[in-house]
Chains A and B, each alone.
Chain A
Amino acid sequence: MEGFLANILNGLSWGMLLFLISMGLTTVFGVMGVLNFAHGSLFMLGSYLCMQFVRWSGSFWMGLIFGPPIVAALSILIERFLLRPIYGRDVSFQLLLTFGLMLFLDDGVRLIWGPAYHVVAPPPILAGVIPFFSKSYPVYRIFLVILGPLVGFSLWMFFSFTRWGKILRASAMDRQMAEIIGVRVPILFTGVFAFGAWLAALGGALAAPHQSVGPAMGERIIIESFIVVVIGGMGSFPGAFVGALILGLLNSFGTTWIPDLQMALPYLFLAVILLTRPRGLFGGEA
């Protein structure tokens, strides 16, 4: 029983990190129509910057506050000078350009911080374990499980009830119409891309105490978050939430119950969903 519950908590904490990444990915896709291969690398960059700030200041919170805006600033440059010239071209070119960016960032990180894995300690208030039945469970993971839905909920509020959220949704629905009524779509695109990058980096910073920080972490999470976004339906928030939870749980239960197949489970699940609902769970009809 306690093993079962621990599995659920493990799955949820990983799922919440996936959710943070996927929200950015799905927002960028929903509004701009760009599938960003480098999104996982921005997540990784968030982790590394957090680690660097922890080294300088000794405080995890400094990394959490100052790391993500730097990544967002970098992504403004990426959107403005690399992505903007190719919006008019086929989607596969955007995929390729961001794939190149991914190679560049993943290896660049290795160049700056070295190939080794780094460990970031959770802040004192979230360190340690709490008693959990006869055993114990890390406080930090429980913090993640609580934080994920909070961030998701506030984003949902933002998109549903604020003026900016409504402008964003309107532009996603019909770009031309939004332009006609006076929305400055190019600036909006830059903003959305930076926002998505900030979310990814925030996820990365939060992931730093949860797993070890290394150059391969972006490559792993980008594929899983692609799966989350596709399963949920591209551009759908509830879809990303459900998809991330499912993938997180598949990950933790798969590891304990069928370790040999665990690696293939997300892909199997993806194939089943895509073949029965080609546009994902919350994606409407194809």
Chain B
Amino acid sequence: MNHRFFVYPLLIGLLLVGLFTLPIFLSTYWVLIVTEILTMGLFAMSFNLLFGNTGLLSFGQAGFFGAGAYFAVLCLVHLSQSLWLALICACLGAAVLALIIGWFSVRLDEIYFAILTLGFGMMLFTVAHNWRSVTGGSDGLGNFVLPALNLVIWKVSISHPRHFYYLVLVVTILGIFLLRRITRSPFGLMLQASRENSNRVAFVGGDLRALRLLAFVLAGSIAGFAGALFAIFNRIASPEMLHWSFSGKAVLMTILGGSGVFLGPVVGAAIFFILEHWITSFTNSWMVFLGAILVFLVLLFPKGVLGTLITWVDRSGKGKQP
């Protein structure tokens, strides 16, 4: 029996049913945690469009995440009370920034790309941190009225954690579906080809810079979208969301779950937050454990948790081969 055609769709279906019925049997506390997992998972997936798919290690992804957060909050404070408008603002704003930054960054690759994106991300961080009159400086920007969700005929308040959970769940699934379409499209396959061998892509006439730039802009706008959700969820946009160590979180989650598997980053985000809540319940030194786990994973599970699991399942499905 081939797992790829039978078991995986079944598992995904079960997972979806589970996610939609989750608030019925989980406490509000855990609903909040799952909301956080979904938002950060989407962020990590936007990072993996660049890393796992295109082979570009961006250490500035938090710049777009945080920019999206600020755009959304600024839109809610100054423009209108519409949630949709705020989310669109965040998406477009982050996309424009990604277009400018990407235009410079995609000329380089490997470590140089990583360090340059880190630099640009930190420039955005400086703007958020120091432009007090607009961004509120290091205190962040949090004085906004939580908008209602306008679903054409009726308005739903999202101040209730369960309502907000469903909103995040639906848009995250849409975002993940969009990412799936992108990675499976001819464009997505060209990205993978450029990861495997950028010279050959250039030889067959692929415009490497344009491909990478488009991937960068798409990843940036999805990160901005996730950032907007995160800011509305936390009721604040703060400079730490743009700091390079926040980009490091996306990198961590992706590796934890497995960068070579489509859903790896979300699984990584889930493992990350569940571990965090479990470990911080008995010690303050969560980072010691996280660091040790990361070292351990890199050494023993280079494909990440989900990646390794899938390899095992595939192997057992095919029977024992010599």
Which residues of A are at the interface with B, using a C-beta cutoff of 8 A? 35, 82, 85-86, 89, 91-93, 95-97, 99-108, 110-111, 219, 223, 226-227, 230, 234, 260-261, 263-264, 266-268, 270-271, 274-275, 278-279
Q: Smallest distance from the beta carbon of A277 to chain B beta carbons, Å?
A: 11
Q: Contacts A271-B116, A279-B112 given; 7 further ones with Cβ under 8 A?
A: A91-B110, A96-B255, A101-B295, A102-B291, A226-B115, A227-B115, A264-B126
A264 and chain B: residue at smallest CB distance: B126
Q: B202: which A residues are within 8 A, CB to CB?
A: none
B56 and chain A: residue at smallest CB distance: A92
Q: B24: which A residues are within 8 A, CB to CB?
A: none
Residue among A223, A234, A261 facing the most chain B CB atoms (10 A cut-off):
A223
6 contacts between A and B (CB under 8 A): A35-B111, A96-B298, A230-B111, A263-B129, A264-B127, A268-B123
Mostly helix, strand, loop or mixed at chain B's interface?
helix
Q: Smallest distance from the beta carbon of A237 to chain B beta carbons, Å?
A: 19
Given A91-B110, A104-B292, A275-B104, verify A223-B123 contact (CB < 8 Å).
no
- Going nearest first, the 6 A-B pairs with the smallest beta carbon separation are A104-B291, A100-B294, A103-B291, A107-B287, A264-B126, A267-B119
Q: Smallest distance from the beta carbon of B19 to chain A beta carbons, Å?
A: 29
Contact A223 B295 (CB under 8 A): no
Q: Smallest distance from the beta carbon of B106 to chain A beta carbons, Å?
A: 12
B297 and chain A: residue at smallest CB distance: A100
Interface residues on chain B, number (Cβ under 8 Å): 40
* 1/0 contact string of B293-322 vs chain A (CB within 8 Å): 111001100100000000000000000000
Q: Smallest distance from the beta carbon of A214 to chain B beta carbons, Å?
A: 15
Q: B129: which A residues are within 8 A, CB to CB?
A: 263
- Enumerate B152-206 residues with CB–CB distance to A below 8 Å: none
Contact A270 B294 (CB under 8 A): no
A93 and chain B: residue at smallest CB distance: B298
Which residues of B are at the interface with A, using a C-beta cutoff of 8 A? 51, 57, 104, 107-108, 110-112, 114-116, 118-120, 122-123, 125-127, 129-130, 244-245, 248, 251-252, 255, 285-288, 290-295, 298-299, 302
Partner of A261, one of B112, B126, B244: B126
Q: Smallest distance from the beta carbon of A159 to chain B beta carbons, Å?
A: 23
B245 and chain A: residue at smallest CB distance: A219
Q: Give the docked Cα–Cα distance between A188 and B285 (Å).
A: 35
Q: Give the docked Cα–Cα distance between A110 and B287 (Å).
A: 10
Contact B119 A227 (CB under 8 A): yes
Partner of A111, one of B252, B285, B290, B302: B285
Mostly helix, strand, loop or mixed at chain A's interface?
helix
Contact A267 B120 (CB under 8 A): yes
Q: A103: which B residues are within 8 A, CB to CB?
A: 287-288, 290-291, 294
B111 and chain A: residue at smallest CB distance: A35
Q: Give the docked Cα–Cα distance between A219 and B286 (Å).
A: 17
Contact B108 A274 (CB under 8 A): yes
Q: Give the docked Cα–Cα distance between A93 and B111 (Å).
A: 12
Contact B294 A99 (CB under 8 A): yes
Q: Give the docked Cα–Cα distance between A95 and B125 (Å).
A: 22
Given A104-B288, A223-B118, A274-B116, verify A93-B302 contact (CB < 8 Å).
yes
Q: A93: which B residues are within 8 A, CB to CB?
A: 298, 302
Q: B292: which A residues are within 8 A, CB to CB?
A: 100, 104
Q: Give the docked Cα–Cα distance between A223 and B117 (Å).
A: 13
B51 and chain A: residue at smallest CB distance: A92
Q: B293: which A residues are within 8 A, CB to CB?
A: 100
Partner of B119, one of A104, A260, A261, A271: A271
Contact B285 A107 (CB under 8 A): yes
Q: A223: which B residues are within 8 A, CB to CB?
A: 118, 122, 244
Q: B107: which A residues are within 8 A, CB to CB?
A: 275, 278
Q: Give the docked Cα–Cα distance between A92 and B294 (Å).
A: 13
Contact B299 A92 (CB under 8 A): no
Q: A226: which B residues are within 8 A, CB to CB?
A: 115, 118
Q: Give the docked Cα–Cα distance between A279 and B290 (Å).
A: 33
A259 and chain B: residue at smallest CB distance: B130
Q: B104: which A residues are within 8 A, CB to CB?
A: 271, 275
Q: Smallest distance from the beta carbon of A269 to chain B beta carbons, Å?
A: 9
Q: Give the docked Cα–Cα distance between A230 and B119 (Å).
A: 12
Contact A101 B115 (CB under 8 A): no
Partner of A86, one of B122, B127, B251, B299: B299
